[in-house]
Amino acid sequence: MRVLGINGSLRRDSHNRRLLLEAAELLPPGVELELYDELKALPPYDEDDDGEEADPAVERLRDAVARADAILVATPEYNASIPGQLKNAIDWASRPRGAAAIANKPVAVIGTSTGSFGGVWAQEELRKVLRTAGARVVGGEVAVPRAHVRLAEDGRLLDDELRERAQVLVDAVLAEVRPAWVVAA
């Protein structure tokens, strides 16, 4: 089974990238994480450019999404919402209508920010956008506040309680792929 990890931040030392990697440690053996690392290369969505053959970066995104059994997205919060380039990627993945790579795909959302609430608004918006795009979004919130302080204190983002919640979320998204997976693993 393959999980595609998408980080909504383009920043080199992104806290969300770290969070994604910590969450990936919770995947059971046999589940592979593929990190999507071309977010910055995607052109802005333009219906005029979305014909028979889209930009190669778009084709690679659609292919990575289509090949994935499930997707784990980590998002920062920018002005109470999701970063524009992450929204742009979802817009590309949501087309063509009727054959979109993201349609019916199990997706879980996590995120961290340097603010006190861990980007809960961004996560809420992201779930809304993903549902509208046709993804099967599993519930459960893993919002890690004050990322820079946590990292300075012990170098990890997930404490015991958050790790437990992240585990429930990861198990839930895998169960969407193969209901017996979590029990069998």
Interacting residues toward ligand FNR by CB under 6 A: 9, 11, 14-16, 76-80, 113-115, 119, 147
Least separation in angstroms between residue 59's CB and ligand FNR is 26
Q: Is the peptide bond before 43 cis (omega within 30 degrees of 0)?
A: no
Name which of 136 and 156 has its Cβ closer to ligand FNR: 156
Residue 2's DSSP bridge partners are 32
Least separation in angstroms between residue 105's CB and ligand FNR is 23
Name which of 79 and 104 has its Cβ closer to ligand FNR: 79
Give all strands (DSSP E) within the chain, no chain letters. 2-7, 32-36, 70-74, 106-112, 136-137, 142-144
Least separation in angstroms between residue 103's CB and ligand FNR is 27
Identify residue 147 by its one-letter amino acid code: A
Least separation in angstroms between residue 109's CB and ligand FNR is 14
Give the up-direction half-sphere exposure of residue 139: CA atoms within 13 A in the CB hemisphere.
0
Name which of 11 and 67 has its Cβ closer to ligand FNR: 11
Q: Which residue from 114, 33, 115 is spatially nearest to 73, judged by alpha carbons?
A: 33
Name which of 55 and 141 has its Cβ closer to ligand FNR: 141
> Which run of H or of E encompasses 8?
none
Name which of 50 and 124 has its Cβ closer to ligand FNR: 124
* Nearest-10 Cα torsion for 55, 130, 70, 99: -50
